[in-house]
Structure 1
Amino acid sequence: MNVLVTGASGVVGRAILDEIGDRDAYSFTALDIEDHPDIEITRASVTDYDAIRPAFDGVDAVVHLAVYAPGFVDENWERIMAVNVGGTRNVLRAAREAEVDSVIFASTNHVVGMYEREFSPDIYDPNFELTVDHTDPVRPDSTYGVSKLCNEHDGRFFVETNEYPKRFYALRICSVREPEYDHPYGDAEKGVDDGRWKRDSKEYERQVARLKATWFSQRDLGGMIERMLDDESVTFDVFYGVSDNDGRWFDIDHARSVLDYDPEDDGAEWDGPPTP
């Protein structure tokens, strides 16, 4: 299977390629505005349809990760529209013209982020009674979240009104971290390393509580993408990208049922950061 990864040089893209890039079943290429050391890459922005279109020829599946994610302070609506909304439309157009079967789209938990805003920090408690699944009302917490929701709807529109792509998977990714911080203490430890707080602080404890709930380990991310690449049952569907954390409020039973998703990691199993 020939797989094109857009935005391959980012944290999620590098994690996917590290986890499943050497599988005999797949041949990966990449499209990005930055180079990638380990993979053939087309240097282009998803905002430029003519530049990206040739990269889709001969491709069976696209993992679309390219994104503008400015955070909550500097939400540049014009840039978000150009890259996230317009860029994803270009990816879908190219997939249609090149007759690509599947598009796996990197959506975000921020399309339902207001649940966390409303209930935090209580929501980080494993005993808090809330589970958000693919049928619950969307509640974006940012312009970025709104753009990703627009992309999900555009993906559905394309697969239901065109012969190609045949399948669209909206993966609402939770917390994927760099290899050094790929554990439930990762955000807390990074804050210590950056000098933002100390290990015995309340903020350290808060960061641990949150990531124990939202952690999506690189190993489980790779497993989820592999299940989607191998699937032929979905036309359009939404899944939450999170490990089997005891404290998660995002549903994974749907992914288990449809994709046979079998996560290996649980943030609750950690009682401290890894030792050097």
Structure 2
Amino acid sequence: MSDSGSTSRPRVLLTGATGYIAGQLLPEFRTRYDLRLVDVRPGDDVEVADLLNAPVGELAPLFEGVDTVVHTAYHRPSGDDPQSKYDGERLNIDLMQRVYQLSLDHGVRRVVAASTNQAAKWYEQPYYKGLRDRVSPEDYPRPDNFYGWAKAAYESLGFLYACGGAGRALEVVQIRIVAPREIEAEKFRDLPAQRYVRDLAGYISERDLQQLFCRSIEAGDIADEHGVPFHIFYGVSDNARTFWSITNARKVIGYAPQDNSEERYAADIAKLLHGR
């Protein structure tokens, strides 16, 4: 937990606290929340716990008194063959279910989970053929790999919990992060231009990623038009080339991204795409 001693700040449990996404979130989280950090690996202020395999009774204290769980933990499958990938991603679905159920059982108000654009990655094929202009969170999930399939399953399972299918309605937000990294133009110099354009379209800056998660945590009423507290938001900045709609994130939680890859990487774009 943080050492602020404040009782007015939201109490947030962050899973996968030593991971890549958590590392981008923590600088802002530490200024805004009373934190409980959990991972299978040790780290600063991190409680070591195996959310997938430990007895539920041992995990219960981690969730007690928590307002929001931010789930970024991920079990990386071993092996590259389809069966290994399937088996490994099934474990991630089990991990997500445990987080939902423990949250439900111990009075957590909301779960905000790191999902991925790969839950609907197939739509990129018609987009780059000029047959589609946009993909929105409401479009039917169309993963083309096991990683995306598992994330789509997280989302579907989250709706079950949000609509009260397992008891009370647990508030659930799934954030489909696209490209949460700085774009190094040199890595794309010998690749098809489409690969570079895709990263420009999917770019999300660290401060926009922080804002998107924080607003997902702090927003008040997130019920949809049917009264179900469930949303999927795409995690991209305000990019001129973006393919992924953030209209609902703007409307529901007031997401207002500050960065645009077209401006941030203007010099690189001129060199790499226009030969200037």
Name the TM-score class by shorter chain.
0.7 to 0.9
Give the letter for the 1:271 counterpart: A
> Whole-Å Cα distance in 1 between the matches of residues 79 and 194 of structure 2?
19
Residue among 85, 103, 106 paired with 2:111: 103
CA contact (8 A) 1:47 1:86 kept: no
Give the letter for the 1:54 counterpart: P
Percent identity over the alignment is 28
2:54 aligns with 48
CA contact (8 A) 2:172 2:231 kept: yes
Residue among 228, 232, 239 paired with 2:233: 239
Structure 1 position 74, deviation (Å) = 4.7
Structure 1 residues 159-168 or 130-139, which shifts more? 159-168
Give the CA RMSD over aligned residues: 2.3
1:144 aligns with 147
Structure 1 position 207, deviation (Å) = 4.0
Higher relative contact order (CA 8 A, sep 6+): 1
> Whole-Å Cα distance in 2 between the matches of residues 13 and 43 of structure 1?
16
2:180 aligns with 176
Residue among 129, 133, 146 paired with 1:130: 133
Give the letter for the 1:107 counterpart: S
Give the letter for the 1:100 counterpart: V
> Whole-Å Cα distance in 1 between the matches of residues 121 and 80 of structure 2?
16
| Count of aligned pairs | 248
Kindly report which structure 2 residues correspond to 1:63-212, keeping only aligned pairs within 5 A, or say none: 63-70=70-77, 73-75=80-82, 76-82=85-91, 84-120=92-128, 130-161=133-164, 162=166, 164=168, 166-177=170-181, 182=182, 185-186=183-184, 188-189=185-186, 191=187, 201-203=189-191, 205-212=193-200
TM-score (norm 2): 0.82
SS of the residue corresponding to residue 203 of structure 1 reads: coil
CA contact (8 A) 2:127 2:133 kept: no
Give the letter for the 1:232 counterpart: G
> Whole-Å Cα distance in 2 between the matches of residues 114 and 167 of structure 1?
28
Inter-CA distance 172–47: structure 2 relative to 1 (3 Å threshold) = farther
Structure 1, gaps ≥5 residues long: 192-198
SS of the residue corresponding to residue 41 of structure 1 reads: strand
SS of the residue corresponding to residue 68 of structure 1 reads: coil
2:17 aligns with 8
Structure 2, gaps ≥5 residues long: 1-9, 223-228, 269-276
1:32 aligns with 39
> Whole-Å Cα distance in 1 between the matches of residues 237 and 55 of structure 2?
35
Q: Deviations over 1:141-191 (max 9, x none)?
A: 1111111111111111112224556310011111112xxxx3xx23x44x4
TM-score (norm 1): 0.82
> Whole-Å Cα distance in 1 between the matches of residues 112 and 255 of structure 2?
15
